[in-house]
Chains A and B, each alone.
Chain A
Amino acid sequence: MIFKFVIIAFVSSVIASMGIGGGSIFILLSSLFNLFPYKEVKFYNLFMFIITGFIATIFNIKNKKVNLKEIIKIVLPVIFGSMFGIFLLKFIDDNILRSIFYIIIMFFGIYEIISSLIKIKNAKDNKKRKEALL
């Protein structure tokens, strides 16, 4: 079990530090392999994301990808929103909202795939055109 846990944590943490959905992968794989009860999985996921995010932030500041001013500008509304979201959970059934949210996220994913493929194709065409001119 420890071996599976280490592999899942490692893969998820690498993906999480790249900002492409590592938290979701950790929850999904840990649940699929039945490693822990769901609440425990969510706790380990949060812990992993805090450490990963903290270390990744240090490297990203060093690499000049982000600066503290930008982080603070966004983090405060996100924190207030999170507290409001947790408060809302007491009053609303999140099952319907969850389905809508997943449909929107799915749209984002499809949009990302299509726009990336178009950019990759355009880059290839430009390269071919340059080679033809030479």
Chain B
Amino acid sequence: MIYVVSFLVGILNGLFASGAGQFLVFYLIYILKTETHKARALSVSVLSISSIISIIGYKNYTNVNYLYLLIIFFIAIISSYLGTKIMKNLRAEIINLISGILIVSLTIIRFFLGG
């Protein structure tokens, strides 16, 4: 079943670019009863690898500012360290609550703004 769900998550990722991770996390936490920290860590790893496939679609895209890429690179290194530290110290239900609030608010904003 996990292979079918993962394949479906991949299709959603290919179609909509963002939000598919929440599908995977929901399945892991609430259906497979995987521990929250583990499920979210797994989702980050899996979707970041599959994002490499998505970025290949931009191979001919030249309108990129390399200064911004450099800034993102350094910010990502610092903030991912910080993010994993914060997550480690938060209780599972608090992480899920924050995630739920973010999902609902972002979805409502997307409905109004489109995209």
Closest to B5 in A: A77
**Interface status of A34 (Cβ within 8 A of chain B):** no
Given A16-B83, A52-B80, A105-B103, verify A77-B3 contact (CB < 8 Å).
yes
Residues of chain B within 8 A (CB-CB) of A56 are 41, 44-45, 48, 80, 83-84
- Asked whether A49 lies within 8 Å of B47 as measured between CB atoms, the reply is yes
- Asked whether B97 lies within 8 Å of A20 as measured between CB atoms, the reply is no
User: Once bound together, how far apart are the Cα atoms of A116 and B22, in whole Å?
Assistant: 16
Please tell me the number of chain A residues within 8 Å of chain B, measured between CB atoms: 85
User: In chain A, residues 68-96, which have Cβ atoms closer than 8 Å to a Cβ of chain B?
Assistant: 70-71, 73-89, 94
User: In chain B, residues 25-44, which have Cβ atoms closer than 8 Å to a Cβ of chain A?
Assistant: 25-26, 30, 37-44
**Interface status of A129 (Cβ within 8 A of chain B):** no
- Asked whether A85 lies within 8 Å of B72 as measured between CB atoms, the reply is no
- Asked whether B6 lies within 8 Å of A77 as measured between CB atoms, the reply is yes
Interface of A is mostly: helix
- Asked whether A25 lies within 8 Å of B10 as measured between CB atoms, the reply is no
**Interface status of A33 (Cβ within 8 A of chain B):** no
- Asked whether A46 lies within 8 Å of B55 as measured between CB atoms, the reply is yes
Partner of B50, one of A37, A78, A88: A78
**Interface status of A125 (Cβ within 8 A of chain B):** no
Q: Closest Cβ of chain B: how far from A91's Cβ, in Å?
A: 11
- Asked whether A115 lies within 8 Å of B30 as measured between CB atoms, the reply is yes
Residues of chain B within 8 A (CB-CB) of A109 are 22, 99-104, 107
8 smallest beta-carbon distances between A and B, as pairs: A81-B10, A53-B48, A85-B14, A17-B83, A19-B40, A109-B103, A112-B100, A113-B100
Q: A55-B76, A78-B24, A81-B13 are in contact. List 4 more A-B contacts (CB 8 A).
A: A21-B103, A71-B42, A83-B10, A120-B94
What are 7 residue pairs bridging A and B, where the CB atoms are less than 8 Å apart in the complex? A17-B79, A54-B48, A78-B49, A79-B50, A108-B100, A109-B99, A110-B100
A interface list, Cβ under 8 A from B: 2, 5-6, 9-10, 13-21, 23-25, 27-28, 31-32, 37-40, 42-57, 59-60, 63, 65-66, 70-71, 73-89, 94, 97-98, 101-102, 104-106, 108-113, 115-117, 119-120, 123
